[in-house]
Chain A
Amino acid sequence: MSDISIQNLYKTYPGNPPVKALEDIQLQVAPGELVALLGPSGCGKSTLLNLIAGFEQPTAGQLMVNGGVVSAPGPDRGVVFQEAALFPWLSVWDNVIFGPKVQGMARSEYEDRAHEMIKIVGLSDFKNHLPVQLSGGMRQRVGIARILTLGSRVLLMDEPFGALDAQTRLTMQELLLTVWQKLKPTIIFVTHDIDEAIFLASAIYVMSARPGRIQTKITVPLARPRTVADTASETFASLKLEILNLIRH
């Protein structure tokens, strides 16, 4: 049984002419799998993520997560946004515990977990800081700690490291892999960066634009756990070339 099951999914935005954002999407993601959606901007990869998150409704087709039909956003699907989308008036700590708090959980139920998740992302010394006092990379760490505390089984990440500098991006990718190895959530990672997709994912779904479709599924043969050294390997290079050729085509 798969965690995420998408069949014959269509998303069309009304207009003249209507915009076919997604066409005939088929996608199965197994529990604990880390997959990447790769494609140029405008290929609908973010739209697909928004549909899974429940922020938008599909025009046609079936979309199931954890065996239930998706109808609205919910804590079982944690989203990491491109610009972190932290509440600027709340401290790191209050941002991280926002979810359990609005769900009416008692402090004792989430406190230890929140401390642990903040520690995993390396922000233990910054609990009282406001988002504006943090760097871009640190804000994304908060964004990750927030959904880990939420206890989501599925993590949906929408180009979360796209706005970071190359060095910080690499650190964040390594952090994400560590977290994933440790907690084994199901992750759908949206990116337009081929290196990032190969380094992180077990399977890459390459998308094409207008209309947005899944062109190919590519399995990444790199073993886990992965390190930076993998990005310099023969396998990595040939896979990158293969994908480049696919996308240019």
Chain B
Amino acid sequence: MANASLDTLRRTVLGLLVPAVVLVIWQVAGSRPDMAGILPTPMLVLEGWHGWIFGSPGMGLNPYLGSWVSNVQYSSMRVAQGFTLAALIGVPLGLLIGWSRLVQQLFDPLIQSLRPIPITAWLPFSIALFGIRDMGAIFLIFLGGFYAIVVNTTQGARDVERNLVRAALMMGASRRQLLYRVVLPAAMPSIFTGLRIGLGISWTAVIVSEMVAVKSGLGYVLWDAYYVGRMDIVLADMVSIGIMGFLSDRLIVFIESKVLVWRMLQSH
């Protein structure tokens, strides 16, 4: 017991060591006069961030005061919408592509030929199509999440153990029951892999599209703050995006641990 807690302490100290060194270097480098306007010190970033979160809007010439929560909400909502759409279309389509020859022959060539186009390359087209509005961002987020989800789901549905399918057929399952009761649960681990990767890409997509196509959200503030030289806000924004990405990933992992108990036990 004492050994275990000592081990935990040791691990915590070691894990904090390198970040602490980086912070010190950051503080020292940020204090140099020639870094002014490029790299604010950690303390300045915290101060700027504090105002961004808790400041009262409309006071003075600082346009960011008190706007953090609403901007986090804007970005999160867009990710939630685009990503949910990607999951709602990507999972069933992926299952069918992996399961049915016909669906695969219909959809796979299109998906495989569009997939190499980076989502950032879709940006101008997306703006032309949807204008400077939410839909442009959501379309991009959808696209980013969709590929990862559909490809992983397809893989999962394709890799279902042959004997599990045979066992189900032997017991009298119909093709439809096979899909719901065997292929879907068997593909679940791959589906969650796709969801986690897709969510990460969705966050990339929301930042990129907000920088260009929308006038709100963490991506918009990021680019705007850079233009007016508020590097403290830029850095606070970057950390905020990281935190949101981390938290949303944890949420999926939490759901996964509830849905895939059998899988968790298996890996022990």
In-complex Cβ contact of A81 among B163, B260, B265 (8 A): B163
- The reply to whether A85 and B266 contact each other, CB–CB distance below 8 Å, is no
Residues of B within 8 A of A77 (CB): 170
Contacts of B168 in A (CB 8 A): 98, 102
Q: Are A102 and B172 in contact (CB under 8 A)?
A: yes
Q: Interface residue count for A (Cβ, 8 Å)?
A: 27
**Complex partner residue of A99 from B172, B186, B260, CB under 8 angstroms:** B172
Partner of A146, one of B171, B174, B265: B171
Q: A163 interface residue, CB < 8 Å from B?
A: no
Given A132-B262, A132-B265, answer yes or no on A78-B188 (Cβ-Cβ < 8 Å). no
* A40: Cβ under 8 A from any B Cβ: no
Is B159 an interface position by the 8 A CB rule? no
Q: Which of B170, B261, B265 contacts A75 (CB 8 A)?
A: B170
Residues of chain B within 8 A of A2, CB atoms compared: none
**Is A79 part of the contact surface with B, judged by Cβ < 8 Å?**
yes
Docked Cα-Cα span, A102 to B177, in Å, equals 7
Asked if A150 and B171 make an inter-chain contact with CB atoms under 8 angstroms apart, the answer reads: yes
Number of A-B residue pairs, CB cutoff 8 Å, is 69
B152-184 to A contact mask, C-beta < 8 Å, 1/0: 000000000101101111111110010001100
- Cα A83 to Cα B163 with chains together (Å): 9
CB-based nearest B residue for A74: B172
With A89-B188, A102-B177 known as contacts, the answer to whether A79 contacts B170 (CB < 8 A) is yes
B185 interface residue per 8 A CB criterion: yes
Asked if residues B265 and A73 are in contact (CB atoms below 8 Å), the reply is: no
Given A81-B163, A132-B265, A133-B265, do A87 and B172 touch, yes or no (CB 8 Å)? no
Q: Does A238 contact B (CB under 8 A)?
A: no
A87/B182 contact (C-beta < 8 A), A130-B265, A132-B265 known: yes
- A53 B170 Cβ-Cβ under 8 A: yes
28 A-B pairs with C-beta separation under 8 A: A53-B170, A55-B166, A72-B169, A73-B169, A73-B170, A74-B172, A77-B170, A78-B170, A79-B166, A81-B166, A81-B167, A83-B163, A85-B163, A85-B167, A88-B262, A89-B185, A89-B260, A98-B168, A98-B181, A99-B172, A102-B173, A102-B181, A131-B262, A132-B265, A132-B266, A147-B170, A150-B171, A150-B172
